[in-house]
Amino acid sequence: MASIAENILQVRGRIASACRAFDRLPATVHLLAVSKTCPGVSVREAFDAGQRDFGENYVQEALAKITELADLRADSGDPIRWHLIGPLQSNKAREVAANFDWVHSVDRMKLAQRLSDLRPPALAPLQVCLQVNISGEDSKSGVAPEATLALARAVAALPNLNLRGLMAIPEPAADLAAQRAPHRALRKLLEALNAEGLELDTLSIGMSADLEAAVAEGATWVRVGRAIFGSRPAKSAPTS
């Protein structure tokens, strides 16, 4: 069985190959290691292999790891960075505002306002993406594409947030062409927002199964868990 360090090298190799295939610069595509349900020791192993950005879905689980691995944040030269990529309930906004560097799953103004209000003044602005329900699935969180501009303008005006771009979890598809379609739609939406005067630079799209399609359509963050940490144990999802 390959080690976490070997898996990270393989995933970075996939990113580099996709960049070559689709005329992208590898430096423009960042790897977000999705560490949900993984123990802190696995995150530390990935950190020791050079990975710095980690994505978590569940707030309480993430807070335990953030506390356990606090020494990795104390390195002012190249510290660990924590990204929330799962749905967020407003009652968890205080903990998230105080402990995370990024939130990829902002989908309503009430949540954005609370994150801004609760961000500790000693910290840099919280980097955020708007989650868009790009495939129109009833089971998925996210703002509707047609409502994204209004929400983006409102969130961009908040003082303690830095609106960076858009995130989506498209409906699974079997082949590259089908996978590219929703990623392309999200990219075009980002371009439309920028044409309206916003200055967004981030597309958080693509996972283990559709990484290449995401890179082809302009991903700047690809969120990869299974290909780095292996299959996760079956478990009921904890409360966010």
Interior CA angle at 152 toward 180 and 220, to 5°? 40
Is 136 within a domain?
A: yes
Is 109 within a domain?
A: yes
Is 234 within a domain?
A: no
**pLDDT per residue over 84-142, tens digit each?**
999 999 999 999 999 999 999 999 999 999 999 999 999 999 999 999 999 887 778 89
Is 236 within a domain?
A: no
Lowest mean pLDDT among 68-77, 108-117, 221-230: 68-77
What is the average pLDDT value for the chain, to the nearest integer?
Answer: 94
Is 237 within a domain?
A: no
Domain that holds residue 184: 4-229
Beta-carbon contacts of residue 37 (< 8 Å; ≥ 6 apart): 61, 232, 233, 235
Q: How many residues does the chain have?
A: 240
227, 191 in Cβ contact below 8 A?
no
DSSP element (H, E) containing 180 = helix 176-195
Instruction: Check which CATH number belongs to the domain holding 10 and give it.
Output: 3.20.20.10
Q: Could you give the number of structural domains in the chain?
A: 1
Mean pLDDT of 228-233: 82
Is 148 within a domain?
A: yes
pTM score? 0.94
The SS3 call for residue 128 is: strand
